[in-house]
Structure 1
Amino acid sequence: MSVNLTKGQKISLDKEAGATLNQVTMGLGWDAVKSKGFLGFGAKGADIDLDASCALFDDAGKPVDVVWFRQLKSRDGSVVHTGDNRTGAGDGDDEQINVSLQQVPATVKSIVFTVNSFTGQSFAQVQNAYCRLLDASSGKEVARFDLSVQGEHNAQIMAKLYRHNGEWKLHAIGENGKGRTFDDLMPQIAQHL
């Protein structure tokens, strides 16, 4: 059973999954808010390009690598982005980042996931936005975090995977921010390392 995370909540991945997780997928999904057409007909949403990214940090809180739409794979190959979705069209996850937990170098202490509106729209123009963590081997959803707190922000620090006492844990951060890419959020991310 999946855990619906609240802002600030921390969970043990292995305990929630009921087994040791080797590979996880962070999925991001969203829809554009539909505009009102004439008498309710012809309503459609504008294309909104949300981007899932993640940055890998060492023990000292220094970034060692990043995975995003311009670099779909970490240098060591342990983290892979499945590709950029520029509209949010379709059902299910619109973007995914796969993490092979056992392959993540021991020097990496945490992996922080972000979402940014590359096209610049605020989250007030986005609905049904979520991030979720899946056991990649079974496809089972381990945890879900609703991102649809609408507002004038156009970015959010979603969650952090981190090592603690030899196991991986998940911290739902859910902090709003501003910026078209993860790089704009780096000073704010530093506060959560």
Structure 2
Amino acid sequence: MAINLQKGQRISLTKDNNGLSKIMVGLGWDPAEHKGKGLLGSLFGGSSPEIDCDASVFMLDANDKIRSKDEIVYFGNLTHKSQSVCHMGDNLTGDGDGDDEQIRVELAKVPQDIAKLVFVVNIYDCIKRNQHFGMIKNAFIRIVNLSNNQEMLRYNLTDDYANKTALLVGEIYRHGSEWKFAAVGQGDSSKNIAEMVNRYK
């Protein structure tokens, strides 16, 4: 049975799962439903664009730094050169049940000089479209063991992220010989992925 985490919790992925290597990190969200006229009606009416959330992975060194653009896995760079992190493709709307975007990670292949994988989500073209994460509901991150397709853990983001245009969802990081996961759920005001990357330079 999957473990449901709360914000700030940390858990070992490998301590009780000897040989765990191939995992799938699923991220999901739904557009919030708004009805009525006036300001909200104009924002969420039929003519408003879909909310396009993009999941990315920042691969950090021991100093929490991104050393090159190759260490950013996103819709424009789907696979890391080590083949350890692979983005399965972009979902443009968030509609439907289940994962909206999936990222496969092979822990054994992650280069030794990479200490942390940071999973972030930002809203594409958020300023022009006047969109933020207050318009999103049911956001989550989950980790599946690909050897048996069993969900290991899930973290549902329940904070109010109104006016936040990006989210730092969770982290997978080295702790000695183990890999651990941290449920972060931190809102951010970065307008695009480039601004988020600048925080780690």
Give the TM-score normalised by the residue count of structure 2.
0.83
Q: How many residues align?
A: 186
User: Which residue matches 2:40?
Assistant: none
Name which of 108, 111, 115 aligns with 1:105.
111
Matches within 5 A, 1:148-167: 148-150=158-160, 151-167=162-178
- Residue in structure 2 matched with residue 60 of structure 1 by the alignment: 63
Residue matched to 1:178: 189
1:20 corresponds in structure 2 to 19
User: 1:185 Cα deviation (Å)?
Assistant: 2.2
User: Residue 169 of structure 1: CA displacement?
Assistant: 0.5
Deviation at 1:189, TM superposition (A): 5.6
Residue 138 of structure 2 corresponds to which residue in structure 1? 128
Q: What is the SS of the residue equivalent to 1:130?
A: strand
Gaps of 5+ in 1: none
- Residue in 2 aligned with 1:96? 102
Q: CA deviation at 1:115?
A: 0.8
Partner of 1:32: 31
Q: In 1, are the aligned partners of 2:65 and 2:200 still within 8 Å (CA)?
A: no
2:157 aligned residue: 147
Q: What are the ranges of 5 or more consecutive residues in structure 2 without an aligned counterpart? A: 38-44
Partner of 2:147: 137
Q: Identity across aligned pairs (percent)? A: 38
1:139 counterpart letter in structure 2: N
Q: Deviation at 1:134?
A: 1.2
Q: 1:189 to 1:134 in 2, by over 3 A?
A: farther
Return the offset for 1:12.
0.2
Deviation at 1:142, TM superposition (A): 1.3
